[in-house]
A and B are shown apart, each in its own frame.
Chain A
């Protein structure tokens, strides 16, 4: 999976939890999930679990805590899917 495909999938997964849809439309790697997109911090867990289901990966607490931006999520997924394959 290339980075662009991962980015699209990540934003698709985040979308149902986003309050600021406009920010999501213009999102980049640097877009902060909680602060910029208005995702409730409690829902970050749901997003991480959705990543696990979608990409067939396992995300530990430490990795989950490091996900602050869309780019962090993409990077983590690329790393974990590469390791898994």
Chain B
């Protein structure tokens, strides 16, 4: 679990982020809707599915998504729940784990990252750094929070769910907080052909959700791998369905 030195900082961040949630959400929604002209296909259905599959229950929630752009977690937060719902249920305002290097690029990103409940992480860091991140996430989950995580470990360089390079950290998190609910989320812009920093202006996003209960009889690293493989496999399956449907739609 998070060290006693990390906990006060995370508590303060959560408090500040929750206190300013309407402001943060309004800025985020305005930028997405009017600045970038993004839209979510069947937004009402997506939010309904989210509440039905995960949002209505209390307790730890791990939102596991595929990853193609730097702002996937922002799009997801905007899409899954409106501000009034998140304001009433602080657990629904998900924590994120962006790359420290990306977040450090501009001071305003750091401010937005703080208000957006981001915990900067070092990609390809040392085992100790990875363990610290997992401990923080486990501590937040144990407090009934939700966390967005990208099990592929980074934006997929192939443009498809990257099963080859997927990390197993998500499995370790589930081992640390076994009661965590897992919601797999497939997110992709209709015009997205590969990985990019940002989606194209005017992009329309498709979102699919599926709650799963990963299980394993193994413990330790082997168990973590089993759990992570099931989650990434589910994302791959959702992606396959997306492309199959796209072929049918043609």
A64 interface residue per 8 A CB criterion: yes
With contacts A60-B220, A65-B128 known, is A45 near B165, CB below 8 A?
A: no
Q: Which of A34, A42, A59, A60 contacts B168 (CB 8 A)?
A: A42
- Interface size counted on chain A using CB atoms at 8 A: 15
Tell me the minimal C-beta distance from A44 to chain B in angstroms. 9
Instruction: Evaluate contact between A42 and B221: CB separation under 8 angstroms.
Output: no
A40 to B124, CA, bound (A): 8
A22 interface residue per 8 A CB criterion: no
- Interface positions of B from 20 to 79, Cβ below 8 Å from A: none
- Interface positions of A from 21 to 44, Cβ below 8 Å from B: 34, 40-43
B87 interface residue per 8 A CB criterion: no
A49 interface residue per 8 A CB criterion: yes
Closest 3 A/B residue pairs (Cβ):
A65-B127, A42-B167, A45-B221
Residues of chain A having any CB pair with chain B under 8 Å = 34, 40-43, 45-46, 48-49, 52, 59-61, 64-65
Known: A42-B167, A49-B221. 5 other contacts (CB 8 A): A43-B165, A45-B221, A46-B225, A52-B222, A59-B221
12 CB contacts below 8 A, A to B, read A40-B165, A41-B124, A42-B153, A42-B167, A43-B165, A48-B221, A49-B221, A52-B222, A59-B221, A60-B220, A61-B221, A65-B128
